[in-house]
Structure 1
Amino acid sequence: MSDSEPLLGWLQNWYAQQCDGDWEHEGAVKIATLDNPGWSIEIDLEKTEMEGREFPRRDVHRSPRDWVRAWTAENTFHAACGLGNLAEALTLFRNWATADA
């Protein structure tokens, strides 16, 4: 994986690699909006190479509209972020997912 690979393309490829006829039926990847406004991300890690790995909680608050929070709980990667921080939150996941365990 290269950091120069477009983020959305990387996520699509990562998702495709996890699909095994079963995993994708459990919810897998969810990106939704928040009403504050912002984004939330949930990525199921069960049956992936990241199962059981912990993402050290990260909490960055630059302003009420510029923030990112990320953590793992119950074999799920979670992130919540401000309106313009979706790519930043997904990059946190990509960097963690591609780092050596």
Structure 2
Amino acid sequence: MEILEWIQNWFKANCNGEWEHGGGIQIITIDNPGWEVEIDISNTSVANMNLSWILNENSKQDWYGVKIEDQKFFAAGDSGKLIFLLGLFKEMIEKIENV
């Protein structure tokens, strides 16, 4: 399943009449240039998980970072990393759900 289809289905499955009115999913561009992804995980099994900012930087054009805090998954990366960042979120969710 393509990542956009997966994230669309995940969003739909988590809409409960309240959650989607809060943070939901936000994808924005940043001026590095790059992408920023923020996903509200308050209604998931990883809601209380915390992960300090981890930055993986090979160069100014090849980098990404991720953290989990305040019931939000947050990731950012260079302009070629949007699919990768969404994939990190998918991998985390699938790993936790299969435990």
Give the TM-score normalised by structure 1.
0.88
Identity %: 34
| SS, match of residue 58 in structure 1 | strand
What number of residue pairs does the alignment pair up?
Answer: 97
From 22, 27, 40, give the equivalent of 2:18.
22
Report Cα offsets for 1:35-70 as digits up to 9, x if no partner.
111010100011223211234643211211111101
Runs of 4+ with deviation above 3 angstroms: 54-58
Which residue of structure 2 aligns with residue 77 of structure 1? 73
Name the residue aligned to 2:88. Answer: 92
Aligned with 1:58 (options 41, 54, 60): 54
Gaps of 5+ in 2: none
Cα separation, 1, equivalents of 2:45 and 2:8: 16
Is 1:8 aligned to residue 20 of structure 2?
A: no
Give 5+ residue unaligned stretches, structure 1.
Answer: none
**CA separation of 1:54 and 1:7: change in aligned 2, threshold 3 A:** same
> What's the RMSD between the two structures over aligned residues?
1.4
